Structure 1
Amino acid sequence: MDKLPPAVTVTNIKSHIPVVLENDCSKYNSWKQLFLTHCEAYEGLDHIVPPDNPPEAKPPTWDRVDALVRQWIYSTISPELLETILKPKSTAQMAWDTLAALFQDNENSRTVDLENKFSSTRMDSFTDISSYCKAMKNIADQLANVNAPVSDKRLVLQIVKGLNSKYNTVAAIIQQTTPLPDFYGVRSRLTMEESRLNAQENTPADTALAAAAPPPPAAPAFLSLNPYLTFMLLPLFPFPKTPPKPLPYPSGNMP
């Protein structure tokens, strides 16, 4: 009895390739690498990437495995792409090559659009640091998918460049740090600075001053015995200065 090919054991291709390929080029490289890895693991790679030295005769299970690889392709792309590549009597390699040609044609224009977006994105368009950094990292990943990779250094410097004036201090520190922190280190620093600034903004100024200023010292008790003595000695004490109340002299008996 012939041994069943490993490809037959795959029951849910989406658990192996969770990425759905769309017309957008941003996911093509990720989908491609996942698909190649899966085909290599389940002995279907020869059906989309012909070997340098192909065997003279195809194995008996070739057509069955080829149909399975085609199903994997059809199940992991969008309905719009499926309509584009679905043809009668197609093979897995034909479907694979059609997708490759389609995305290579769109690559240059997509690269220009992403480069413009990468250079013009600013933090003011987002609600917080995490959203801003996530968006910048996503654009960098999309550029890598169209064969225009962004170095970690360039990503960090572009993130710093897009910060608003509230982050001038931490931005200067990051730029002067040697070696320059990586993306995750910069995101962590900016997140901490964001938390510090938010805490400052949420603390009322009057409350902060009242908590910082010590209470005024109390006046010595003996001064309360004579209002005129209190008035004469006021300059010597830091307590609030108020004029003394007049003594209740009888009418016409003022000294």
Structure 2
Amino acid sequence: MATIIRDRGIKDRPALEGVAAAERALELLTCFRTGDKALSLAELAERTGLVKSTIMRLAISLERYNLLVRLHDGRYQLGSGVVRLGTIYQESTDLEQHVMPVLAKLAAETQETATFYVRHGDVRLCLFRVNSSNSLRLDVAPGTQRPMDQAGSAQLLRLFADWPDTNPDLPPLPIYTAGATTPHVASSSVPIIGHGNRLVGALSLAGPEARLTERRGAEVALRLLRSGLELCRALGGDAEAIYRIPIAHAT
């Protein structure tokens, strides 16, 4: 009969559960959406499913940490503490200082909108963007949430989610799609790999399909690949095998 011997020096880790009050407070903060300036108590209750008395108690605690502000008309808006946390996050990753110059250069070279997407749960989030100088263009504001559909950036965020622990079949890059999210809008995308060869996000060019045709996408492909590889290197990633372009062409 086999005997299981347990190391007495190592205690079993107890099953941990979240704190309900903390989860309700976070639910209150995260119910705000892009474009919201202030929400009434009734709107907060509708979005969160929490009763108004609970929301008011949570709001008092959140106000103490400047995460929520109660306006004179009784509505609520996010406080400066949220901005502070966002700033700390960006500074801790140094992501913006690497991404924005690449986006600016890419948008200037191609005259199309350059964007950087990350996955946020079941959606992709536009974290940074530089708009095209053309009057007819795709405007995507930072913070905009887009579906995880068949757009190139969404495909890449799914495909490389567990990279390099898994080895999916790699498609030719960049991935060009048209009308996947918005009718008559096309995009071309590459993955961005950082330290430890982990996925950081997706770099995309987007514009009207009438201008950013599949042929035009092929013409700007090398610029996009070069920009993506430059960003991967800056973030500590080795993406040459993924991008499948000669080093001489990528430098």
- With a CA cutoff of 8 Å and minimum separation of 6, indicate the structure with the bigger relative contact order: 1
Higher Cα Rg: structure 1 or 2? 1
TM category (shorter chain) comes to under 0.3
